[in-house]
Structure 1
């Protein structure tokens, strides 16, 4: 008699298959938002493009390594105080030059779970930058902030109303 996997295992497998078939881009090495209206992917950089690495929601080890290559080629690592929430300067709080703690955590934790020494070193380097940024803010302002400017040592993030 053949037994079926439990309900939640089947649901997780279907979800993984859907994420990979709709969001994964093997050529670019990341997962991108999909627009249901235009039936197209949105290829701008966001740290969330690597959320499946953190969630360990991918089926092949090479996908994690391609994601590291994507991150390195994105330009998002060129900032001394964290990875920006996007590379677009719109003035909105969810765009450059702001960096949000949950996204830093997601990148650092996700990279640290990958088997390669390169990914682990990148996670360590990003963690050091982020801790330094937070420490400098605390020293300078006697405060912690919800977001930080990736260019300013400990400088709080900013946004403008549109």
Structure 2
């Protein structure tokens, strides 16, 4: 948000406001990294605060309070320019993601937990695909950009195959099996579907579809 405001301020020539919000962006970056970033894992981990502690109290940071739970959201900050412009961080995140187990034949799983709930494995949701892909694609590393394109192709492909088989776009997909829709949760999986449509269109606009790449499940 701070970067967007700074950019708009620069466009209209308000350099004072732009500088103020650029400083605020750097402060937010430092705050996020100081609490959530785990250098060894190359991920931004959730941080647990005791429910006996007031949100207004000062907290002493403890490494043991960082969660070890595996979620794709641990990689989402790479979507933000503050982080994807840092080559060192991008390299660590890329290596961490490659070995994480999240990437399946048809996209990125939300978690590694098989709970039969819709936000867990093997379900993949469009917004998370988009944030991870865009973060990698906007980085300065060619390997990260190539990974972004590969993920986008997997996601486009499974959406296309599922559409041809069912006549609809779906809210979530099974990342283990090309063309399979997702399941689980407290309601019947929905069709439509705004963010699924939008992400596929965004990927096609950005990457296209290689002429030498066959579409469909092998």
| TM-score normalised over the length of structure 2 | 0.67
Choose the corresponding residue for 1:14, options 27, 35, 44.
Answer: 27
- Deviation per CA, 1:12-32: give whole Å up to 9, x if none: 221111001001111111111
Structure 2 gaps, min length 5: 1-15, 52-61, 187-218
State the alpha-carbon separation in 2 of the partners of residues 27 and 4 from structure 1. Answer: 37
- Deviation per CA, 1:140-161: give whole Å up to 9, x if none: 0000001001122222111144
Choose the corresponding residue for 1:97, options 102, 122, 130.
Answer: 122
How much is the aligned-residue C-alpha RMSD, in angstroms? 2.0
State the alpha-carbon separation in 2 of the partners of residues 105 and 65 from structure 1. Answer: 19
Give how far 1:44 is off: 2.4
Choose the corresponding residue for 1:26, options 10, 35, 39.
Answer: 39
Task: Give the equivalent residue in structure 1 for 2:215.
Answer: none
SS in 1 for 2:92: helix
Task: Give the equivalent residue in structure 1 for 2:163.
Answer: 138
Correspondence list, 1:81-120, <5 A: 81-120=106-145
Give how far 1:36 is off: 1.4
Task: Give the equivalent residue in structure 2 for 1:157.
Answer: 182
Is the CA contact 2:109–2:124 (under 8 Å) kept in the aligned structure 1? yes
Give how far 1:106 is off: 0.8
| TM-score normalised over the length of structure 1 | 0.89
- Deviation per CA, 1:71-124: give whole Å up to 9, x if none: 0111122x1111100011111111001000000011111111111121111111
Structure 1 gaps, min length 5: none
- Deviation per CA, 1:26-48: give whole Å up to 9, x if none: 11111111111286111222222
Task: Give the equivalent residue in structure 1 for 2:98.
Answer: 72
Aligned length: 158
Higher relative contact order (CA 8 A, sep 6+): 1
